[in-house]
Amino acid sequence: MPTPLVGCIPIVCTPFRDDGALDLPGLRRQIDWLIAEGASGVAALAIASEGYKLTEAERDAVARETVAAAAGRVPVVLSADGAGVEPALDRARRAAALGADALMVLPPSFVKPDADGLLDYYGRIADAVPVPIVVQDAPQLTGVAMAPALWARLAAAHPGVRYLKIEGAPQGSTISAALAAAPGRLAVFCGWGGLSILDALERGAAGSMPAPNFTRLFAAIQTDWEAGDRSAAAARFAAELPFLLWTMQSIDHSVAAAKEDLRRRGLIASARQRGPAARLDDIARGQLARFLDARLG
């Protein structure tokens, strides 16, 4: 029986050297640090991992290194999706073979499928691999809307569909509706940087998938919440909220902030993002520096 996914599962940054090549030693250092910070799992090759900017060979290299670095200490979630069923199946099978404990799967977004198309896409992936599926609902990024009734049908027909990551708004009511539609079949994670974590936990979410540099915060919030100390959880969240809101202006803001934070900690050699990326302007870079100065001392 696979280890259930629960708690804080940060989205791992894919580090690059200044010449653009993968920084695999930096990836390993980052994962060791995330586990020390309280991560109960790690997720790689996701949107905020810049997974879509990697070659297929690089995806396999990152997957292999992530699994090796985690070394069974925590579950590894690898993103595996595609513009069609066949590319997604290929990625899913490779990720599972490389040791993923679960796969996170976005819907196709180039041609936006209807409900039947989504049932076919997710069902075929779930049936093709021996690990559970995390359905990633990110309508603001994909333009694909999914309903709780669809998730319930998937979970009933395909036991491998066990988790949801909710990114879209309103998160809270969507989480409640999803859990009500498939009681006992689905666990739900708070996405979009964890901005709705307190609401999500109150509604029964299993945890969060934040940026890596917020791992300690979200792990502590989860611990406080599970101990019944909601006021402590809220106080922790409020203390970091200005920086969290700043990072979540866009995916590129979040990745830039996380990578610079990790670079300053000596975990990765460079904060480089692969293109295309919306580079921070001088004012934004100054704002980020002030946040990190206050955070890191």
Contact 5, 36 (CB under 8 A): no
173 touches 205 (CB < 8 A): no
**CA 258 to each of CA 66, 286, 295: distance values in angstroms, whole numbers, following the listed order:** 18, 15, 12
Cα angle: 66, vertex 68, 71; to 5 degrees: 110
Looking up tokens 């708070």 gives: 190
- Please tell me whether 248 is known to bind a ligand: no
- Could you list the residues known to form a binding site, using ranges: 209
- Could you list the residues known to form a binding site for pyruvate, using ranges: 209
